[in-house]
Amino acid sequence: MGKYVLLNNVTHKNLKIITDRGENYGDAVGYAPIIPWEFRQAVAEYPIVFRKNSAGQFESVVLLGFNQNENLFLNGDDWQADYIPLSIERMPFMIGHTTDSMSGKQQAVIHIDSESPRVNDQKGEPVFLAHGGNSAYLERINSILAELIKGIEQSLRYTQTLAALELLEPFTLKVQLKQNTSIEVKGFYIINEEKLSALAGEGLEKLHRARFLELTYMSITSLLNIRKLIKKKEKEKIK
C-alpha cells in the first residue's frame, strides 16, 4: 500500500524521483485505471475493460497482463508502448485532502509514497528547485494529478451510465497458448454488444449527448489488443 505523507518543500527539499520504468519500481501490475480522455491513446495499445474497485464502483482499466503482477509491456527497463497510463505515470504521488482551518472546506494536496523505490535524494528528477520552487517535473505531476481528479469524476458518470443501461457483462478470458498451457482471466467486465446494438431512444440519446458512445465503441475495438497480449505472453514463455 505504501506510506503516503504530505509533500512539502522543507522536509523534501532534496527529494529526487527515479523515473525509469521497471519491475523494481512498481510497474509489474496486471492492469491500470484510465480516465475517459485516455481512451483515444489507450485504444491503440491496450485492451480497455472494466472492473469493480474496492468501493464497489465500476472503473475503466487497461489490461497489461494476465495476472495481478504481470506487465507484459515491460522488457527490463523499457515499457514497450507509445502511451503509459496517467495512473502509472503519476507514481509515487497521489492526491490527498486536507481541511482548510478558516473555511472548513476540503482542499486537494499532494502526497508522496515515502517507501517507494523511486524516492531518494541521490539520483533522478528533482522535485523542488534549489530556492524552493517547484521543478518542471513536479509541475508535470501537478498537471497529471489535476487531470486525474477531473477524469475520475467523469469516469464514474460514464460507468454509472453503462451500468444503468445494463451494458456491462462479466468477462472471462480463456486462452490456449502454443506451449500447451492455458490462461484464464476473471473479474473484469466488457460491453455487451448485443444490448448496445439494441439500444434505442432515450438510452442511446443519453450515451450520445454525454459523448459516452464514442468511448464505448473504442472499448469494444480495443479488445483486438488481447491478441497483442497473447503474443507477448507466448514470447515470454519461449525465453
pLDDT per position as a tens digit, 86-143: 999 999 999 887 776 677 677 888 999 999 999 999 999 999 998 879 999 999 999 9
Q: Is 76 inside a domain boundary?
A: yes
pLDDT at position 1: 63
- Strands annotated E in the chain: 4-6, 16-17, 31-33, 48-52, 58-63, 74-75, 78-79, 93-99, 106-113, 119-120, 125-126, 168-176, 182-191
pLDDT at position 239: 52
Domain hosting 102: range is 4-234
Q: Is 50 inside a domain boundary?
A: yes
What's the total number of domains in the chain? 1
| β-bridge pairing 48-52 and 16-17 | unpaired
Q: Is 46 inside a domain boundary?
A: yes
Average pLDDT value for residue range 156-175: 94
Q: Is 228 inside a domain boundary?
A: yes
58-90 burial: b if 16+ Cβ within 10 Å, else e: bbbbbbbbbeeebbbbbeeeebebebbbbbbbb
Q: Is 177 inside a domain boundary?
A: yes
Q: Is 239 inside a domain boundary?
A: no
Residue given cell 509515487 in the structure block? 92
Q: Sorting pLDDT into bands at 50, 70 and 90, what band is 238?
A: low
Q: Is 162 inside a domain boundary?
A: yes
Q: Is 175 inside a domain boundary?
A: yes
pLDDT in tens, 47-71: 999 999 988 999 999 999 999 999 9
Asked if residue 85 has a cis previous peptide bond (ω within 30° of 0), the answer is no
Q: What is the mean pLDDT of the chain?
A: 92
Considering the chain, what percentage of its residues have pLDDT values greater than 70?
Answer: 95
Residues 203 and 153: their CA atoms lie apart, in Å, by 21
Residue given cell 478470458 in the structure block? 173
